[in-house]
A and B are shown apart, each in its own frame.
Chain A
Amino acid sequence: MTIHEVLLSLDGVEATYNHAIRALSGVSLTVRTGEIVALLGANGAGKTTALKALSGLLPAERGQIAAGSIVYDGEDATRRSPAELVRAGLVQVLEGRHCFRSLTVEDNLIVGGQVRGLDRAALRSELERIYALFPRLRERRRTPAGLTSGGEQQMTAIGRALMARPRLLVLDEPSMGLAPLVVEGIFAALKRLNREEGLSILVAEQNSTVALRHADRASVLETGRTVLDGSAADLRERDDIKAFYLGFGVGSSTAAATTPTAA
């Protein structure tokens, strides 16, 4: 596996919600082709916001990019619609398992593959690929996704994104709610795709142990700002940094750090 040119880069991105609540105030990060990058940070650091910003979903949350640039595959990503980005291979798994609740698990997956306009046979084999990764989903494929268990929903959401055969997969807390074996399974599978197909991955995780174990590099956010950027191996070693980025709750003492300041 070779690491090529820059696939995605964020530079000095600032973002607000509702033109008022500042959520990002200087996020920079890069993902090169074939790389796995972890985005770490405490609760409210801005991971989700950064990921939404780069996949064009911020406007749908009434958020705005106030400054900075986001370049995906050599083009300005802020000018492209989310659908265009997906077609260009940038697919995101949203935080909090946004499944299509009334669609069955299988229909969820099919919708995920729709951008590719597959024929029946190809669709079948793609589905099989996902079911091989998440056997649990095969058993539940006729159940409306909204009724399945939390973990099953999470698998559905990840599977749905994989159906689009992304070049850059953006994952927001994929391990949340998943059994340890499944988490390992997912990361192993992603790693395989990364190795075999050059899939690049950007993953925001609280579960930093898992994330760092699999990532090549990591960026750390704190209160909407990139504060650290380095190789995952380094970060794994350094306890001081761990203590630094893991954050400490939002007691009165650190309230200022986690309460966004008004613009």
Chain B
Amino acid sequence: MEWQFFTEVLVGGLLSGVMYSLVAIGFVLIYKTSGVLNFAQGALLLFAALTFVSLAERGLPVWAAILLTLAAMTIIGALIERTVLRPLVNQPPITLFMATLGVSYVIEGAAQLLWGTQVHGLDLGIDDLPLEIGGVLISSFDLFAAAVAGAMVAALTLFFRYTRIGLGFRAVADDQLAALAVGLSLDRIWTAVWTAAGVVALVAGLLWGARLGVQFSLSLVVLKALPVLVLGGFDSIAGAIVGGLIVGAVEKLAEVYLGPFVGGGIEGWIAYVAALGFLLIRPSGLFGAKLVERV
């Protein structure tokens, strides 16, 4: 039965990994267009989930709550572009990184100010009863989440593949001054991308919220997404998925099979160490764009 347990852990890990990917995708979107690690992604996630849940609790039908939340995310995206990104155009990534940290304070504060600090339950109406497939336990909720993530990745990949916007995105990430000079509308691109990141945050927030409850700690799930990012490459949607799968599997297998030897609880860092080891072989992740430079 050992192999069965192994399979169970592996499958469980892979499915958890998909949940990480959901969060990671939001990061990728922003990184792709500004070369910046967006630390406000966690706050966006919290804000989206909290807004949705609070609206739903106030008796709004689910579709209306989702629409209103989407509207809110759009407004936030536009506001961030206007007040933060535009004045900081062409600044080094570290500056923008810090700015996103500031933004995350604002969003977190605003979210809790608006909706309070209570803990909310979030029921998406998906039963999470154990499913036995060939003797291996699989969570139906995780399967659903995986399907959502898959759909999202497919949609985004198609979008990038079949529109020229993807090219513009990479151009902006490469050199903002040149992007301005060739007439790319950074304002529009950024608004769109931050809104998209907000939508991704909403999806991730709902799924994670259904697991954790909607509360402040929701913003901490980004810590699970970071190793996924470095492993997959900061600027690759596909990398976010593959990275997520790897991180999920490594984490769970390590915790179960390695944990007992060192006292357990190694999940918090093992993903980072694994990602680090991997990076030493491929310094820009699995699918990340390689650094292009010459003299």
Contact = CB atoms under 8 A, between A and B. Distances in A.
Interface of A: 55-57, 59-61, 81-83, 85-87, 91-94, 98-103, 107-108, 110-112, 114-115, 144-147, 157, 160-161, 164
Given A60-B90, A111-B179, A111-B184, 17 more contacts: A56-B180, A60-B176, A61-B177, A83-B185, A91-B182, A94-B177, A98-B177, A98-B181, A100-B178, A102-B170, A102-B174, A103-B167, A107-B167, A107-B171, A111-B167, A114-B167, A145-B292
Nearest to A55: B181
B90 A61 contact: yes
Contacts of A92: 181
B221 to A, nearest CB: 30
A85 B181 CA distance: 9
B90 A101 contact: no
Interface in B76-129: 89-90
Contacts of B179: 100, 111
B183 A102 contact: no
A114 B182 contact: yes
Contact of B182 (A61, A111, A145): A111
B184 A98 contact: no
A82 B180 contact: yes
B294 interface: yes
Contacts of A112: 182
B113 to A, nearest CB: 33
A82 B90 contact: no
B182 A164 contact: yes
Contact of A100 (B89, B170, B186, B290): B170
A146 B89 contact: no
Interface string B172-200: 00111111111111110000000000000
A102 B289 CA distance: 8
Interface of B: 89-90, 164, 167-168, 170-171, 174-187, 289-290, 292-294
Given A60-B89, A102-B289, A146-B294, A83 B180 contact: yes
A259 to B, nearest CB: 25
Given A103-B171, A110-B167, A94 B181 contact: yes
Contacts of B174: 100-103
A87 B171 CA distance: 18
A100 B171 CA distance: 6
B178 A114 contact: no
A106 B79 CA distance: 34
A146 B292 contact: yes
A183 B103 CA distance: 48
25 contacts: A60-B89, A81-B187, A82-B180, A82-B183, A83-B183, A83-B184, A83-B187, A85-B183, A86-B181, A87-B183, A91-B181, A94-B178, A100-B174, A102-B170, A102-B290, A107-B167, A107-B170, A111-B167, A111-B171, A111-B179, A111-B184, A114-B183, A144-B292, A145-B292, A160-B182
Nearest to B292: A146
Nearest to B235: A102
Contact of A57 (B168, B177, B289): B177
Nearest to B289: A102
A55 B181 CA distance: 8
Contacts of A102: 170, 174, 289-290, 292
A144 B290 CA distance: 10
B182 A115 contact: yes
Contacts of A82: 180-181, 183
A88 B182 CA distance: 12
Contacts of B168: 111, 114
